[in-house]
Amino acid sequence: MAPGAGDQGNHMTSIQTTFTPPLMTAYPSAQQKAPSVDSDVAIARAPIPPSAKQSALENAQAKADALRQALRSGDADERALTTQQFASGLNGLAASDVPLTPKQRQDVQTALAPLSGQQTSSVSQTVFESDAKLWEMIAKYIGDINKDYLGVYENVVGQYTAFYQAFSEILAKMGGWITPGGSSNTVKLDVNALKSALQQLKDKFSLPNKEAILFPAADSNGNVTGATQEKAEEWADELGLPRSCVKRLADGSYVVVIDMAPVNTMIDELGKLGTPGGDGKLELDNAKFQAWQSGFKSQEENLKNTLQTLTQKYSNANSLFDNLVKVLSSTISSCLETCKAFLQG
């Protein structure tokens, strides 16, 4: 159980006592004396008919199912649309004042906890004065999580994949840059061609080019608005990148960029091999060539590992978001069954 969960449970129980049982709001008798309060307040406190709650729950359930389907499809545009629709459905539950049992409330907040490092700490740790407020906050954070959590990972993987594909194109040309030397014990390496290709790769994926930026993502117009230094450092840490990848822009904001350390090392190591001939090639004995090649492949492996790490983090983020939607969907389904049973009873 998360720290403080027991305390939350006690508070949640006291909140839940206003609903006995869930979704079964007692209506005032026609003979009851009207409350001596302002009419606007009286209207605001009017109970929501169970049929309206059922309609809101059915709508939210359908939107949750659509969002889960979008998450499985991997279509970012579809996910953005269905996320917005699901958030609207959750706001409908808030407006309909759909109540939760203490266990349901705890399950929802527990599902939010793994995401608390980025957007949801206030939701996962707060005791809400009403379930309507909880639904309202979840609706807001569902949209935030999609854009500022899952969307970040999606952009990071997209940017780094483009970089790695460009690097892979260099690897594909390596066969033409390595040829037999003048003797069986030597190899010729086209140092200038390889060095030039690596430098072009570095230039393309370094600032001020937008291809360099992993976080924040560019807007629909391709413009990047930097974040605070603290937020950029948080994301660098989250992505497993060194703080050296946090760069300050001219406007004073900060971004997280692709780690060029492996490429820099490749370029530096080429320079240490010696001065190539007029054709740009350098003849190396097998031992020296193999030592260089081993170091090059080591840096290549670093780039590959970074891509795999970022891809796995994106997959994990997608799973966490999917699990949250799954828990919300299950909770909504349970509330819906309770509502139907009440109406049929």
Write out the chain's pLDDT in tens, 345 residues. Answer: 444 444 444 433 333 332 222 333 332 333 333 444 444 444 455 677 778 889 999 999 999 999 999 999 888 889 999 999 999 999 999 999 899 998 998 888 888 888 755 544 455 555 666 888 889 989 988 988 888 889 899 999 999 999 999 999 999 999 999 999 888 899 999 999 999 999 999 999 999 999 999 999 998 888 999 999 999 999 999 999 999 999 999 999 999 999 999 999 999 999 999 999 999 999 999 999 999 999 999 999 999 999 999 999 999 999 999 999 999 999 999 999 988 887 776
Residue 230 lies in a domain: yes
Order across the sheet with 178-180: list the strands.
Answer: 178-180, 186-190, 281-285
The pLDDT score that the predictor gives to residue 169 is 98
User: d(Cα 322, Cα 249) in Å, to the nearest integer?
Assistant: 34
User: d(Cα 216, Cα 35) in Å, to the nearest integer?
Assistant: 53
Rounded to the nearest 10 degrees, how much is the dihedral formed by the CA atoms of 48, 50, 53, 55?
-130
Residue 255 lies in a domain: yes
**Among the listed residues 61, 66, 125, the one whose alpha carbon sits nearest the alpha carbon of residue 98:** 61
Contact 213, 278 (CB under 8 A): no
The pLDDT score that the predictor gives to residue 126 is 59
Contact 255, 236 (CB under 8 A): no
Residue 170 lies in a domain: yes
User: d(Cα 260, Cα 245) in Å, to the nearest integer?
Assistant: 9
Residue 261 lies in a domain: yes
Residue 64 lies in a domain: no
Total structural domains within the chain: 1
Rounded to the nearest 10 degrees, how much is the dihedral formed by the CA atoms of 174, 193, 257, 70?
-40
Structure tokens, 291 = 């030592």
The pLDDT score that the predictor gives to residue 154 is 93
Phi, psi values for residue 179, rounded to 5°: -130, 160
Residue 138 lies in a domain: no
Instruction: Give the domain extent around 184.
Output: 157-310
The pLDDT score that the predictor gives to residue 38 is 45
User: d(Cα 293, Cα 117) in Å, to the nearest integer?
Assistant: 41
Q: Is 144 exposed, middle or buried (0-12, 13-18, 19+ CB in 10 A)?
A: middle
At a CB cut-off of 8 Å and minimum separation 6, what does 230 contact?
none
Q: If you search the block for the tokens 């992505």, which residue do you land on?
A: 239
How many CA atoms within 13 Å lie on the side-chain side of 343?
Answer: 14
Residue 241 lies in a domain: yes
The pLDDT score that the predictor gives to residue 222 is 86
Contact 81, 143 (CB under 8 A): no
Structure tokens, 314 = 């994106």
pLDDT digits (tens, 9 = 90+) for 228-250: 999 999 999 999 999 999 999 99
CATH of the domain at 269: 1.20.1710.10
The pLDDT score that the predictor gives to residue 155 is 95
∠ Cα 27 31 33 (to 5°) = 90
Residue 150 lies in a domain: no
